[in-house]
Amino acid sequence: MVIPHDFEYVRPNTLEEATRALADCSGSAQVLAGGTDLVAWLRDDAVHPDLVVDIKAIDGLRDLAVADRTMTVGSLVTFTDLMESSVVAEHAPLLSEAAETVASPGIRNRATVVGNICSAVPSCDAGPVLLAYDAHVHLVGPEGFRSVPIEAWFVGLRQTARREDEIVTHLTMELPTHGGCYVKLMRYGGEDLAQAAVAIVVDDAHDYRIAFGAVAPTPVRAHAVEDAIRGRAPTEDVIAEAVAMVRSEISPINDLRATAEYRAHMCEVMLARGLVAADQRRNGDGPEYRTRLI
């Protein structure tokens, strides 16, 4: 089986060339980084671009560093890069924890974090974590640079705030001293998409940021839950209060990986366990990062 449509391919060396190629394209264009989604979609004929712009030869898109508590993740950073980075493990451990659950090594070596949120499928593992880290997505287009808060990024099923002539350059996250977790429910402990997922960040003031994945058309931030328990340690009562609110924050569906009811129930279980683990980790104890909580 081959890719059923021909297209033009360019591999520019600078962002200027890349944005010009996108702007000059009279038909539709796709940006290519790792290609683990795009090539599969090309083959399925789900996308049929006239032009594919490969951004892998552009310098400066591989940053992975922390300065003044702000982490930068370039748009060519792969999930393997996240897993192997001591900087990420120290400052943004939820990124390492989520990266390890993505597909398998042969995909993680190629797939980028930014590509994951550009594809924007409901189960994307980077989505909940970046929501919990309150990330900003930085883009460049014909009108210059702009940034989009991650909450405004996911606008629908496989739809993002990126305009067709824009390229994501990097993500930034301001990281408080925090504990947290990424809990992913899968059918088996190997390569699988999330049936449901939750990311939790808690800081020293017990200010929480909570986001769910695979239980709505986009990853969703659970503001109502956060507001209800802000400032309080996750005691049994606080957890019960949080858990009681979960179903009004999500809208899961039935599909081949799980029923809506199972997803909703497991979101409650994962939130309860996750709140405890996140707070323990903030204290420097609890289960190590990258050990599965479910």
Binding site for another protein (CB under 8 A): 1-3, 5-9, 11, 32, 35-36, 39-40, 42-44, 52, 54, 56, 80, 103-107, 109-110, 190-191
CB 41 within 8 A of CB 62: no
Q: Quick one: 56 or 232, whose CB is closer to another protein?
A: 56
Nearer to another protein, 69 or 292 (CB): 292
Residue in this structure with the two tokens 């599965």, named with its chain if needed: 292
- Longest C-alpha distance within the chain, in Å? 59
Least distance from C-beta 49 to another protein, angstroms? 10
Q: How far is the CB of 186 from another protein (least distance, A)?
A: 11
- Helix or strand holding residue 220 (H, E): strand 220-221
Q: How many helices (H) and strands (E) does the chain have?
A: 12, 14
Nearer to another protein, 236 or 288 (CB): 288
Smallest gap from residue 2 Cβ to another protein (A): 7
Q: How far is the CB of 267 from another protein (least distance, A)?
A: 25
Element containing residue 68 per DSSP (H, E): none
Please identify, using beta-carbon distances, which residue of 86 and 177 lies nearer to another protein.
Answer: 86
Angle between helices 260-282 and 236-249 (to 10 degrees): 140
- The minimum distance between CB 273 and another protein, in angstroms, equals 21
Q: Output the smallest distance, CB 8 to another protein, in A.
A: 6
CA–CA gap between residue 182 and residue 173 (Å, rounded) = 16
User: Residue 11 or 247: which CB sits closer to another protein?
Assistant: 11
> Can you tell me the distance from the alpha carbon of 198 to that of 15, in angstroms, rounded to the nearest whole number?
34
Q: Residue 114 corresponds to which tokens in the numbers above? A: 């930014």
| Residue number, 269 or 294, with CB nearest to another protein | 294
Give the pair of three-digit tokens for residue 281. Answer: 């980790």
Least distance (Å) between residue 69 CB and another protein:
31
Nearest CA to 184 out of 112, 87, 83, 292 is that of 292
Distance in angstroms (rounded) separating the CA atoms of residues 4 and 45? 7
| 3-state class (DSSP) for residue 247 | helix
Kindly tell me which of 52 and 140 has the beta carbon lying closer to another protein.
52
